[in-house]
Every structure is written in structure tokens, then in C-alpha cells.
Amino acid sequence: MDEKNRKKVLEMRNLSISFTTNAGLVNAIRGVNLDVYQGETLAIVGESGSGKSVTAKAIMGILDKNSVVNSGTILFRYRREDGSEVESDLAKMDKKDFRKHINGKRIAMVFQDPMTSLDPTMTVGRQIMEGMIWHFHTPHSEAKARAIALLEEVGIPEPKRRMKQYPHQLSGGMRQRVVIAIALACNPELLICDEPTTALDVTIQAKILELIQRIQKERGISIIYITHDLGVVAKVADYVNVMYAGKIVEKGTIDEIFFDPRHPYTWGLLSAMPDLDTRDERLYTIPGSPPNLLRPVPGDAFAPRNIYALNIDERAEPPMFQISNTHCASTWLLDPRAPQVDMPAELKARIERMKKEGV
């Protein structure tokens, strides 16, 4: 992970998206900055309603009709077929170009529920070949051979027989493997996995995660991984962005987030993980609930739930404080004028224990 050789694939700057609803304007995303580098996995963590999925949908250009992109750019760098390198702003691209140049071809997505993301009326084989034929006009026989190879790559036994089967004939884990095969069919540069294992059993989840890890190693593609499970993050991610109420509150490498978290919300998330080694009487929970984004959020959105909140949190939004080259967090606690606040003692003890395990 040499700093200089890292090639930026995606650069999101100050993205802000609202939804018009009956109740008013919901500010789902409020100024998100995001960088994805080639061959690396970025995990976006947060509660439901924090805007992780909206961010992913914005990159894919599949936002709902009632959405408004208020500001921001999503720069995506890719190679054309002729080898020339282009950079385009996905936030401003029109739908037709999106479908023609981006979706499935260069950015592919794996959705949460494999039953609803597959077409029940099409055989598995046709669904895998569809993208290749549409984007590259691959001859049918060649597409078929590639589809069989892909099924084999994602670990489906008897790929030839499976090609002719329909989604309902497969189990949940197999279906998700098919979805991954479809996503990989056109050799995308960027793969977005939106909670790909939440609908699956733990044993199958472990296998799917190992599959995604292996594919990334072999193909060297970039992955954005959206999840709320920190155990999953620990397994797959190189970089982590913690999202809260439509903003990224802390970002850093996986080690920095797990072993040196700075934002009180990250402390809360890490403390709330049920740990297999401790047996406390109660599980830690973050008090309160996320803010209603229908109303403007003054100051720090996390302040009402934060026991370490300062006076200034109610008045001004904290900027991103840089902690190291890769690590930054948005909380006033990092301001030089702020009082010295340490993470909760239990969390500290747990991190110490984790560090020992790792050696």
C-alpha cells in the first residue's frame, strides 16, 4: 500500500442529496467525501438510515425519482476500450450514458437480497450472459463459455447444469454467488456490495465473504463494501468510513478505526459489538436514536446521543480533524482547545485484548 503508487478510482467530493417526500425535504446525504483506490476495499459502516445505501446508489446512478442532487461531484476514472483514460462526473452524467458506459460494465453492484435482485423468469445462464452481450456484443457461444467459467470461479458445482436452472431452484447462498458472477461478468473496475450477506446464514456468510476476498485478490478490483456488521468489516476491509446521519464522521485504515478510534460514535459502535470473549451482564447500547433528517441538524448531529458532547457541539459543526495521513475524524473533541477525553475504559481493555490476540 505504497502511498504514491495508489491509483484513485473514485473521488467523491461534497456530495449532498435530498429526497422530496410528503413530509418535506429529507437531507439524506450532507456533504460526503469519499476516495476509493484501485485494488482496495473500502467499507462504509453505519446504522440504517445513515445514508450508506444512498451513497452507493448515487455512484450507480440508480437513485429514486424523488431524489435531488444538491451539490457535489463523483469523479470516476476508467479506461475506454481503446485504452485512453477518461474521467467523468457521475453526479452529472445522464441516464443513457450511465447505462451504456458505467452500469454493469465498469461499476457493478451486489444487492442485499439475492431473491429480489435476480429475474425469476430467466435462467441463471442468460442472466450472466446478458451483460456481456449487451455491452460488448460478445458472440453467444463465447459468452456461454465465459458464463460457465464464471460460475466455476464463484464456487458453484456443476456449472453446466446450473446454467439452465432458474433462481428459485437454487439455495440462498448459491443465488448470491450467481449475483456475484453476474456482477463480475463484464470485468468491472469497481464492485459495490450493499450488505450482501445480511439475508444469509452465518455459515454461508463466511463462505461468501471468503469468496469476495479471493476474487479481489485474483482480479485486483476495487470494492466498496456497505455493512453494519463490524465483524464483516474486520474480515474484508482495508479502509473504513464510519457514517452517521448523512455524513462521514471518521475515516481511516482498518487498524486505525479498530485500534485507535477517535470519534465517540465509533467508540459506541465498537462497544456495542457483542464480543464472544466477554460475558457482561448487559450489552452496551448507544442511547437515543438518530436525528430526523427532515429538519436541519444544527451543530454536531451526534451531540444529543453523546455523553462527551461539548457546548460547541450544539452550535457549530465540527470540521474534519486530521490525525494521521489516512486517519481523520469529525468531532470537536480533537480540537486543541477541547478537554482531554479518553475512550471508555471497557473499550480500551477490549482493544488491548484484541491487539494481543493478533500477534
Q: Based on CB atoms, which residue is closest to other proteins, 31 or 172? A: 172
Residue 45, strand partner residues: 227, 242
Q: Based on CB atoms, which residue is closest to other proteins, 35 or 255? A: 255
Residue with the three cell numbers 458445482: 157
Q: Based on CB atoms, which residue is closest to other proteins, 87 or 210? A: 210
Binding residue (CB under 8 A) for other proteins from 237, 245, 248, 309: 237
- Write the interaction track for other proteins spanning residues 154-193; mark x where CB under 8 A is met and - where it is not: ------------------x---------------------
Question: Does residue 202 interact with other proteins by CB under 8 A?
Answer: yes
Distances (CA, A) of 237 to 40, 151, 257: 8, 24, 11
Binding to other proteins (CB under 8 A) within 20-49 occurs at 47-48
What distance in Å separates the CA atoms of residue 317 and residue 312, rounded to the nearest whole number? 8
CA distance from start to end of the chain? 21
Binding residue (CB under 8 A) for other proteins from 282, 296, 311, 345: 282
Stretch that binds other proteins, among 59-67, 104-112, 279-287, 294-302 (CB under 8 A): 279-287
Question: Does residue 209 interact with other proteins by CB under 8 A?
Answer: yes
Question: Does residue 207 interact with other proteins by CB under 8 A?
Answer: yes
Binding residue (CB under 8 A) for other proteins from 35, 113, 255, 317: 255
By CB under 8 A, how many residues form the interface with other proteins? 44
With beta carbons less than 8 A apart as the criterion, state whether 8 and 36 touch.
Answer: yes
Question: Does residue 13 interact with other proteins by CB under 8 A?
Answer: no
Question: Does residue 75 interact with other proteins by CB under 8 A?
Answer: no
Q: Based on CB atoms, which residue is closest to other proteins, 106 or 263? A: 263
CB atoms within 10 A of CB 66: 12
With beta carbons less than 8 A apart as the criterion, state whether 151 and 181 touch.
Answer: yes
Beta strands in the chain (DSSP E): 8-21, 24-37, 41-45, 67-79, 85-89, 107-110, 190-194, 222-227, 239-244, 247-253, 321-322, 328-329
Binding residue (CB under 8 A) for other proteins from 106, 235, 247, 263: 235
DSSP assignment of 156-202, as one string? -SSHHHHHT--GGGS-HHHHHHHHHHHHHTT--SEEEEESTTTTS-H
Question: Does residue 115 interact with other proteins by CB under 8 A?
Answer: no
With beta carbons less than 8 A apart as the criterion, state whether 201 and 118 touch.
Answer: no
Residue 121, SS3? Answer: coil
Q: Which residues of the shown chain bind other proteins in the complex (CB under 8 A)?
A: 47-48, 172, 201-207, 209-210, 228-235, 237, 254-255, 258, 269-270, 272-276, 279, 281-286, 289, 354-355, 357-359
